[in-house]
Amino acid sequence: MKIAMIGQKGMPAVFGGVERHVHDLSLHLAKNGHQVTVYSRQWYTGKHQDEIYEGVKIKILPTLHTKHLDAIIHTFLATWHAILNDFEIIHYHGVGPSLMSWLPRIFAPHSQVIVTFHSIDRYHQKWNWLARFFLHLGEWCACKFPHKTITVSQTLEKYCYNEFNTKTFYIPNGVPSFGPVVSEEMLKKFGLEKNKYLVMISRLIPHKGAHILVEAFVKLKQEFKEDEKIRDLKLAIVGGGVYTDKYVRNLQRLASPCNQIIFTDFQAGENLEQLYTHALALVHPSLNEGLPITVLQAMAYGRPVLVSNLAEHRELIDDNRFIFKENDVEDLKNKILHFLQLTNEEKNKAGLLNQTTTNNVYHWEKIVPQIESLYK
């Protein structure tokens, strides 16, 4: 099949859950013999010309790199390019890009239009009222215009049915298997040691909750400074801002009382693999999610994860020892404290259970056939 991917910032994935999803899905589809084109933005990929990446065509189209116009302009241009190039499948990712999904229904009636509903983006605090209006409209478009709509969590599947009376197809995000990473060279660069740091891996935007984690970690350090496990523990915040420079500066201010909080900026490739592999645990304090790929990846690496009590998180983790109250600094501090008091055997058991869950349910080898079946 000839397949177009529209809505993601680009490929190869540098940051972003949607970008990682499209990256991995496209590679698997290409390996299965499909012709896949991923529409990409020059500022994200750093490329000025089209290229072939491991069998996937990367199509660079222009846009205006601004907070509110970047995605919609690129999606509009990508949609018309796809219409004019005879794709069998035009697959939109995200509710914002879905605003354009009506165009191929009219101008390319032979194409099958698919939308993946990744998250309820209008809940994200970075958007103003007008952007939230259009994102809500995008949700309606995502449920009404495509031939099929995919939801990546059971929670989103229920949301689409209750809000728009639309039956969607639940196909969760996927992750690959990860082999052991022995090297610790990257850790030294940031003054980290194996199993002596917690990690958060995310874009630094308010709804991801990094401020909650930083406050909780500072409180933990101040209240239990004599405890050896806590005294030696560090926190690595892996990621950078996306039109959120003021928020990032505020995070650094919140972290200033503690010199054991390390901001690494965005990391990728082997650097990111080392940060996942050698962490004591991943903490994900998000206030709004679809089905977080960063949590799935930590689980696939066999790491324990501490998550806020969102319904989407509870689809992945059902052990209350690893779940804390959303937007609650004190409860997160206490959950980290309780986690540190677990035996090594209990921590390893939790990590192994996480890895088994991803291999059995969320592995790409199980997810890709479901998507191919939906295409057909």
Q: What is the pLDDT of residue 179?
A: 80
Question: Number of C-alpha atoms within 13 angstroms, CB side, residue 319?
Answer: 14
Which one is the CATH code of 185-361: 3.40.50.620, 3.40.50.2000, 2.60.120.330, 3.30.1600.10? 3.40.50.2000
Q: Which residue has the tokens 């109250």?
A: 325
Give yes or no on whether 2-171 and 185-361 have one common fold: yes
Phi/psi of residue 93, each to 5°? -120, 115
pLDDT at 334 over 80: yes
| pLDDT tens digits, 3-27 | 999 999 999 998 888 999 999 999 9
Per DSSP, the three-state class of 175 is strand
pLDDT at 148 over 90: yes
CA distances from 162 to 122, 132, 159, 307, 376 (A): 17, 19, 5, 26, 27
Q: What is the pLDDT of residue 124?
A: 61
CA distances from 201 to 17, 88, 156 (A): 11, 36, 23
Pairwise pLDDT comparison (254 vs 290), residue with the higher score = 254
CATH no., domain 2-171:
3.40.50.2000
pLDDT at 121 over 90: no
pLDDT at 331 over 80: yes
Q: What is the pLDDT of residue 65?
A: 87
Over residues 94-118, the mean pLDDT reads 96
Domain coordinates in residue numbering, the chain? 2-171, 185-361
| pLDDT tens digits, 338-375 | 999 999 999 999 999 999 999 999 999 999 999 999 99
Long-range contacts of 267-272 (CB under 8 A, 24+ apart): 267/186, 267/238, 268/13, 268/14, 268/15, 270/181, 270/183, 270/186, 271/186, 272/201, 272/238
Please state, in angstroms and rounded to a whole number, the distance separating the CA atoms of residues 146 and 102: 8
The DSSP line for 62-119 is: ----STTTHHHHHHHHHHHHHHHTT-SEEEEESTTGGGGTHHHHHH-TTSEEEEEE--
Query: Could you tell me if 364 and 371 are in contact, meaning their C-beta atoms sit under 8 angstroms apart?
Result: no
Q: Which residues pair with 169 in a beta bridge?
A: 150
Please state, in angstroms and rounded to a whole number, the distance separating the CA atoms of residues 121 and 131: 10
The DSSP line for 238-289 is: EB--SS-HHHHHHHHHHHTT-TTEEEEE---HHHHHHHHHT-SEEEE--SS-
Say which amino acid occupies 2.
K
Query: Could you tell me if 237 and 258 are in contact, meaning their C-beta atoms sit under 8 angstroms apart?
Result: no
Q: How many Å from the N-terminal Cα to the C-terminal Cα in the chain?
A: 9
Confidence category of residue 282, pLDDT binned at 50, 70, 90: very high
Q: How many CB atoms lie within 10 A of CB 242?
A: 17
Q: What is the pLDDT of residue 313?
A: 95
User: How, if at all, do strands 148-151 and 112-117 pair?
Assistant: parallel
Angle between helices 293-300 and 17-31 (to 10 degrees): 60
CA distances from 57 to 37, 80, 176 (A): 5, 17, 21
Q: Which residues pair with 38 in a beta bridge?
A: 5, 58
pLDDT at 316 over 90: yes
Q: What is the pLDDT of residue 125?
A: 62
Confidence category of residue 181, pLDDT binned at 50, 70, 90: confident
Confidence category of residue 269, pLDDT binned at 50, 70, 90: confident
- How does the average pLDDT of the chain come out, rounded? 93
Over residues 80-100, the mean pLDDT reads 96
| pLDDT tens digits, 153-177 | 999 999 999 999 999 999 999 999 8
| pLDDT tens digits, 206-255 | 999 999 999 999 999 999 988 888 999 999 999 998 888 899 999 999 99
Confidence category of residue 126, pLDDT binned at 50, 70, 90: low
In the chain, at which residue ranges do the beta strands (DSSP E only) sit?
2-6, 35-41, 51-53, 56-61, 89-93, 112-117, 148-151, 169-170, 197-201, 234-238, 261-265, 281-284, 305-308, 323-324
Which residues contact residue 33 at a Cβ distance below 8 angstroms, ignoring those fewer than 6 apart?
none
Q: What is the pLDDT of residue 54?
A: 95
Query: Could you tell me if 114 and 89 are in contact, meaning their C-beta atoms sit under 8 angstroms apart?
Result: yes
